[in-house]
């Protein structure tokens, strides 16, 4: 609080401070009550800093200016946009998929206007909100019917509770996954009221293991796609097609939880092939569950597609209402799904797919373009160089897939105290108007540019960077 302090007699009163131009500006932007609260906050801080017995003169303009700055900082939203330069395309902590412009526009309309959410426009009577996306989901997956809930964990929970409450649910030991936040499949099954029956071993499960476990108490067979890890070596698993045939012969439904779930063959974009939802349906799974905000590239949602009679049972479960999604996300989901009808232009329109499939040459060229601005922003304390690096899909999708990428490596010019210097740099980048999130790796701060699309905004944002030594 050095500005405005002079060795005189007192701190100005709230009323005196409110008469300043800075206070008038604060009142105009934030209201009188918030401005008074801010002035009192700043005044209290000053008193603590100078001591209870000290008496100094602080200009009311300085108090008002500090109050305005405090209000501006406090008004900054907690949910802020960041530059994701971590190299993880679908970063769970950074919101996963970035929505397509078509989805953003549809969500905006849904927020701004009344919409036919549960109203059948053709019949002029009450309708179902699932009807907004049911046809598209069936068209894109080949399923008889479809429904949608809050996320994929909710989809699995609803299916288990509907089909296996008070019954047994058979699952391979090698598929008892744990997803983010320490949520484990056995715990979800227990909450659904199903009794877990494990078959096989961690690394090997055979068709005979499933067959031996089926009995009159069996509610369903659960196949879980291990989308966030891989077991390699001496392994054996049973295909969805084989389990489906066994389930059908035993009159037991098969639930195939794909987790991330994709509607297109990713190998067409130079990535590893991941079983599509349509392939899982074609194998004979009675129900298939998958996410909306991962490989699909839409908002958070959990989809359940499959047999019409089973979907009807799910929709009659009272739990379905507790897990349903709102009109905003439904509008965005519909717009996202419609993009899949035009596969030739999908990568250009869907940010998630565009970033995953972005050519290495484009990223390398971007790195060369932004290098001078980054070097100038961090100053002489750091050396900045273009490097080759690797990106990943993230959010448990294609865990063994790494994608060649390019970025900027920032290394401490003086190796003394380099660990602390890198942490300070990471902190400084996070305090920018639009925080920049990278990763520390091999004694360097790495900015992977795979997900950087607005280079001009990124460079402008760097202008306020303070690293303690700008050269």
Two structure tokens written together for 271: 């990535």
- CB within 8 Å of 194: residues ≥ 6 apart: 160, 161, 164, 165, 166, 167, 168, 169, 219, 220
- Work out the average pLDDT over 309-316: 97
- Three-class SS of residue 469? coil
| Alpha carbon distance 287, 253 (integer Å) | 8
| DSSP, residue by residue, 220-274 | EEEEE--TT----SS-B---HHHHHHHHHHTT--EEEEEET--SS-GGGGTS---
| Alpha carbon distance 55, 415 (integer Å) | 46
Q: Which residue has tokens 């909710």?
A: 154
- CB within 8 Å of 277: residues ≥ 6 apart: 140, 141, 258, 261, 262, 263, 288, 290, 303, 305
80 conformational bin, left if phi > 0, alpha if psi -120 to 50, beta if neither: beta
Q: How far is CA 142 from CA 147, 284, 337, 358, in A?
A: 14, 11, 14, 29
- CB within 8 Å of 3: residues ≥ 6 apart: 62, 65, 66
According to DSSP, the residues that pair with 6 across neighbouring strands are 57
Q: How many CA atoms lie within 13 A of 121 on its CB side?
A: 6
pTM for this predicted structure: 0.88
- Residue spans in the chain of domains classed CATH 3.40.640.10: 101-349
- CB within 8 Å of 168: residues ≥ 6 apart: 194, 195, 196, 197, 213, 215, 217, 218, 219
Q: How many CA atoms lie within 13 A of 103 on its CB side?
A: 25
| Alpha carbon distance 82, 436 (integer Å) | 6
Neighbours of 471 (CB within 10 A): 11
Band of residue 464 on the pLDDT scale cut at 50, 70, 90: confident
Closest CA to 458 of 60, 10, 81: 81
Band of residue 185 on the pLDDT scale cut at 50, 70, 90: confident
- Residue spans in the chain of domains classed CATH 3.90.1150.180: 83-92+354-463
Convert the pLDDT of each residue in 12-38 to its tens digit: 889 999 999 999 999 999 999 999 999
Question: Looking at domain 101-349, does it have CATH number 3.40.640.10?
Answer: yes
128 conformational bin, left if phi > 0, alpha if psi -120 to 50, beta if neither: beta
Convert the pLDDT of each residue in 136-164 to its tens digit: 999 999 999 999 999 999 999 999 999 99
Buried b (16+ CB within 10 A) or exposed e, 419-442: eebbeebbebbeebeeebbbbeee
C-beta of residue 374 within 8 angstroms of C-beta of residue 447: yes
Q: Measured at the alpha carbon of residue 29, what is the angle toward residues 26 and 32, in degrees to the nearest 5? A: 60
> E strand or H helix at 349, and its extent?
helix 346-349
For CA atoms 330, 332, 338, 344, give the dihedral sign. Answer: negative
* Res 4 pLDDT > 60: no
- Three-class SS of residue 187? helix
Question: Looking at domain 83-92+354-463, does it have CATH number 3.90.1150.180?
Answer: yes
- Work out the average pLDDT over 235-252: 89
* Res 314 pLDDT > 70: yes
Convert the pLDDT of each residue in 318-361 to its tens digit: 999 999 999 999 999 999 999 999 999 999 999 999 999 999 99
| Alpha carbon distance 290, 129 (integer Å) | 19
How many contiguous H segments (helices) and E segments (strands) does the chain have?
19, 19
- Three-class SS of residue 96? coil
Residue 126 phi, psi dihedral angles, 5° rounding: -55, 140
**pLDDT for residue 48:** 80
Convert the pLDDT of each residue in 67-76 to its tens digit: 999 999 999 9
What is the overall mean pLDDT for the chain? Answer: 90
């Amino acid at each position: 609080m050095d500005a405005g302090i002079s060795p005189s007699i007192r701190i100005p009163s709230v009323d005196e401070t409110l008469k300043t131009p800075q206070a008038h500006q604060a009142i105009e932007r934030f209201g009188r009550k918030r401005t008074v609260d801010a002035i009192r906050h700043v005044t209290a801080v000053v008193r603590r800093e100078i001591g209870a017995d000290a008496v100094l003169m602080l200009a009311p303009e300085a108090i008002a200016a500090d109050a305005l700055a405090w209000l501006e900082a406090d008004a900054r939203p907690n949910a802020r946009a960041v530059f994701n330069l971590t190299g993880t395309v679908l970063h769970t902590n950074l919101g996963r998929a970035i929505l397509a412009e078509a989805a953003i526009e549809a969500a905006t309309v849904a927020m701004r206007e009344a919409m036919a959410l549960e109203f059948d426009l053709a019949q002029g009577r009450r309708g179902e909100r699932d009807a907004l996306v049911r046809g598209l989901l069936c068209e894109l997956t080949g399923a008889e019917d479809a429904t949608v809930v809050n996320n994929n964990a909710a989809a699995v929970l609803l299916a288990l509770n509907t089909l296996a409450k008070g019954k047994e649910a058979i699952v391979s030991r090698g598929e008892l996954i744990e997803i983010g936040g320490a949520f484990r499949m056995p715990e979800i099954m227990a909450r659904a009221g199903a009794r877990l029956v494990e078959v096989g071993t961690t690394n090997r499960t055979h068709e005979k293991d499933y067959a031996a476990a089926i009995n009159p108490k069996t509610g369903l067979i659960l196949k879980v796609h291990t989308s966030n890890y891989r077991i390699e070596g001496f392994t054996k698993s049973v295909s969805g097609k084989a389990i489906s045939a066994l389930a059908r012969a035993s009159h037991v439904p098969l639930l195939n939880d794909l987790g991330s779930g994709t509607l297109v063959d990713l190998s067409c974009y130079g990535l590893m092939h991941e079983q599509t939802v349509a392939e899982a349906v074609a194998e004979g799974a009675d129900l298939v569950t998958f996410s909306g905000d991962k490989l699909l590239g839409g908002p958070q949602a959990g989809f359940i597609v499959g047999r019409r009679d089973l979907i009807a049972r799910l929709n009659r479960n009272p739990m379905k209402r507790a897990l349903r999604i709102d009109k905003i996300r439904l509008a965005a989901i519909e717009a996202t799904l419609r993009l899949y009808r035009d596969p030739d232009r999908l990568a250009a329109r869907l940010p998630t797919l565009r970033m995953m499939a972005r050519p290495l040459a484009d990223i390398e060229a971007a790195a060369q373009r932004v290098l001078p601005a980054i070097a100038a922003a961090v100053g002489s304390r750091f050396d900045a160089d273009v490097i080759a690096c690797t990106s990943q899909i993230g959010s448990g999708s294609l865990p063994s897939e790494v994608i060649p990428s390019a970025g900027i490596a920032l290394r401490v010019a003086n190796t003394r105290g380099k660990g602390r210097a890198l942490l300070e740099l990471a902190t400084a980048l996070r305090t920018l108007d639009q925080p920049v999130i990278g990763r520390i790796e091999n004694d360097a701060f790495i900015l992977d540019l795979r997900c950087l699309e607005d280079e001009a905004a990124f460079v402008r944002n760097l202008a306020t960077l303070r690293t303690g030594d700008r050269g």
